[in-house]
Chains A and B, each alone.
Chain A
Amino acid sequence: MMDNDFERFDLVVERYLNRQMSKEEELAFKKELDACSEELKQRAATIALVVKAMHEVGGERDNEIIAQISNMSEEEFRKATKIKSHRLYLRYVKYAIAACFIGVVLLSGYEFTLYNSTVKLGKENYYAYTFYVDGQNRGVSSEICDVLTTLFANVEEGKDLKSTISQLEDLYELSVDEDSDYNEYEDDIAWNLAMAHLKKGHKKRAIPYLQDIVNRNQQYPEIAHVAQEIIDKIEN
């Protein structure tokens, strides 16, 4: 019964660790775990290690934060956490809304002149599989996040597409190397490249990147399906 459907397998292991199974389900799970491939056995053990490590690392980090807050005055806390006074915040929100409104009007006017069916395809589908790089990790790679966040924002806004595509193509080449720091983002970069080409009106150039996503994600049907759907739309 256990195959290489990682999505399903992960959920089964998580239910077991969370005590969400009936006695019968537990017995069946243990039996299946004994009989499953070495790859899946390792995966189950890795999930257990992750649960344990996150619990302990998270607990250590939380204690640090609680200890630090305990020694702060309210003013220091507000400053450190960037909590604004209510009145100032409302003023900020009003200015922000006004700025957004002007931005939307300008952007809409600009984009209207570029509007055609391919561009529409890129715009309508940009969020079909949103890639999110928040740049605020519990460790790490903030430089990579900064670069990608900027380039992805360009694609989202349809800004500097020519140079953005060229930079993303270079990064995509890097990302397919498993040892590269960009390897984690190969699908994200491929998706943004596809959307950038669509927004530039280049239908055919988007297909190879979408096809790469489909090929790489056979075990993750939800991701493969989204990319395949766009390919079908382009081809029809």
Chain B
Amino acid sequence: MKEYNLVDSERELEHFFVRERLKNISLIRSRYSLSTEDAEDVYQESAMALFKKIKEGGLAELTVSLSTYFTRICINQSLNKRRDSHKNVSIDNFQHGYDFDRVEELIDEAFGEDKESKYEEIREIVKDLPSPCETILWSFYEDKLSLSDIAAILHYKNADTAKSKKSQCMSKLKQRFDKKGGSL
């Protein structure tokens, strides 16, 4: 397995946009019934909109993942393309949604004093997930995409299949965690 390397930011930037392109074009086509050509236009316009926003310093305090933010730009650009701009979603006032006190509480209860070492183990695992579990788990837990959207991105039959795959991926992740000594 290759090491995930945050310092290798050029590679990371390229991978970010490859993933976003793949994800958002499938999503736009499925959600808004746009042609491939229109979806590609939307993606490119959205990437440029993100670039301008960053250059203006508008993303200094991002409250959601960059991927979630970019997807919301793509959604609004798609609605504009369909002349449904009155349905635009909020981009700048969108919260992550998890109650991190509850997250900490569940971790504390299960791991107590070992929680820091367990957390480090999980960090390494989530940086190094195999495909398609990588796409499924990150899209669901961090980018907050629905199971229907994940099904559309990965060309699964429906949201139920995405749900099964998500749970299966979580089981495999847990197996790796247990092997690293993560079990209680």
Contact = CB atoms under 8 A, between A and B. Distances in A.
Contacts of A220: 164-165, 167-168
A138 interface: yes
A61 B129 contact: no
A62 B13 CA distance: 9
Contacts of B122: 46, 49-50, 52-53
B62 A70 contact: no
B59 interface: yes
Interface stretch (B16-24, B75-83, B84-92): B16-24
Interface of A: 6-7, 10-11, 13, 16-19, 38, 41-62, 64-70, 72, 74, 77, 80-84, 86, 89-90, 93, 127-142, 144-145, 178, 181, 183-185, 187, 217, 219-223, 226
Nearest to A93: B37
Contacts of B177: 46
B98 A55 contact: yes
Nearest to A142: B2
Contact of B170 (A46, A55, A183): A46
30 contacts: A7-B163, A41-B184, A45-B109, A45-B110, A45-B184, A46-B170, A49-B119, A49-B122, A51-B98, A52-B100, A52-B119, A55-B142, A57-B126, A66-B59, A68-B10, A83-B44, A84-B44, A132-B154, A132-B156, A136-B15, A137-B129, A138-B134, A140-B129, A140-B134, A141-B1, A217-B168, A219-B167, A221-B164, A222-B163, A223-B165
A57 B127 contact: yes
